[in-house]
Amino acid sequence: MTALPLDGIRVADFSWFGAGPIAGQTLCTFGAEVIRIESEAKLDSLRVAHPFAMNPDGTFKSGYNVSGYFNNFNAGKLSMQLNLNTEKGQQLAYRLIEKSDIFLTNFTPRALEKWNLRYDDLLRANPSIIAAYAPMQGLEGPHRDFLGFGAVLTPVTGISEMSGFPNQPPFGVGTNYPDYVINPGHTVIAILAALRYRNRTGKGQLIELAQVESVVNTLGTAVAGYLANGDNATRNGNRSPIAAPHGAFRCADDPESSGSTDRWIAIACQTDAHWQAMCHAIGDPVAATDARYAAFEARKANEDSLDALVAAWVAGRRAEDVMALLQSRGVPAGVVQNAQDILDRDPHMRARGYYEYLDHQETGRAAYDGPVARLSATPAHHRAPAPLLGEHTMDVCERIIGLTADEIADLLAEGVLL
């Protein structure tokens, strides 16, 4: 089998929930051995978060190993149960850190201090460790011990202020977006930079990734606009300063769509030529020369009536048919796809084979997100499904930490290993 870019790199993953484990997932997919440190005493709540796998009779499976949420973000990792609230548990953590290249966490500083996992402590155990800390508010500052998730970060960083419709409350982006993309992506980049530095110098270093600072990178020109002219970017619905019409318009319902049957088409006419092509495609050439809509400035000035016109055009038509028709005329348009589309019905995604199907001991065969990128010489892949809680405790203790069977038995009896 082809060697992967991070083969030989070991990650001691002391993170939980989304941002930290997803960063570890990327490292694992590209070859790193990632050991998730878990504990039933402080369970990663994603293990008990929907969606759950189903039984043949249509009921949900139960337990710590059946969450599609958790499993999708932890494929290929090893799971070790360790009680960090005990002195011996902390000693074992350091024996693992001694044998690791990377330490990863997104717990608050308060929790890490309780477990004696500060950077200075790690250095004494492993001077070459790359220690990646990604608490929500950073290691220092008045809010250092505040905790939260992507749904907290979106309002705190200003994303929610720009998400929604004018004169209505902000409603965010509908998902914990920072947890899935921004923070884990930035964390991985920082870790790779630190690995490169260590390869050149032999020295590890501390990585502090304050999630709040990572996320404000997504505000685009909002801060620059405020600096330049004092304007605060706010909610503008689906409208754009460079396109009209620009929005999502409801088409005919799709009875075969799982869950909601709503179907929508996104359309963006960025030029007068786009608008004219759209009018002819829909069968209303008169609108192409209507003084209210013929030029871009006029369309922006009459956007309410313009949107109503487009909505009336597409209502009752299949979203896929509208997309094909408009695209054939060079008009930017696309179906607003749902999860069912992405997994089962999108011909492009299916042809590329993005999703990897893995067989899990308790959930059976399921789809996992594939690698975030494709490397031609060293293509990444998942080597195993997500681990059961504590599935590899014995293996890690014996193979990596070097404990004997009797020592492991004693630690199990003492509640250090769970």
Catalytic residue among 44, 101, 179, 341: 179
Pairing of strands 102-105, 10-13: parallel
Do residues 10 and 191 lie in contact, with contact meaning Cβ atoms separated by under 8 Å? no
- Tokens 């999703």 sit at which residue? 355
Report d(CA 178, CA 187) in Å as an integer: 12
Contact criterion met (CB below 8 Å) for 235 and 159? no
Beta bridge partners of 35: 12, 78
Closest CA to 2 of 31, 34, 33: 31
Contact between 162 and 239 under an 8 Å Cβ cutoff? The reply is no
| Dist CA 37 CA 13 (whole Å) | 6
3-class DSSP assignment, residue 254: coil
| Cα 341 to Cα 251: distance, rounded to the nearest angstrom | 16
Q: What is the DSSP letter of 388?
A: P
272 catalytic residue (yes or no): no
Q: Hunting for tokens 């209505």 — which residue is that?
A: 168
Q: Where are the alpha helices (DSSP H) in 202-346?
A: 211-215, 222-229, 272-282, 285-289, 296-301, 303-314, 319-328, 339-340
Beta pairing class for 205-208 and 333-335: unpaired
Helices (H), 216-271: 222-229
Alpha carbons 418 and 415: distance in angstroms, whole number: 6
Distance between start and end Cα atoms, the chain: 34
The pairing of strands 130-133 and 102-105 is parallel
Phi then psi dihedrals of residue 411, to 5 deg: -70, -35
Q: Tokens standing for 108? A: 């608050």
Question: How many whole angstroms from its chain centre is CA 287?
Answer: 42
Share of the chain residues as helix, strand and coil, in percent rounded to the nearest 5: 40, 15, 45
Instruction: Please check whether residue 319 is in contact with residue 263, taking contact to mean a CB–CB distance below 8 angstroms.
Output: yes
| Residues recognised as catalytic | 179
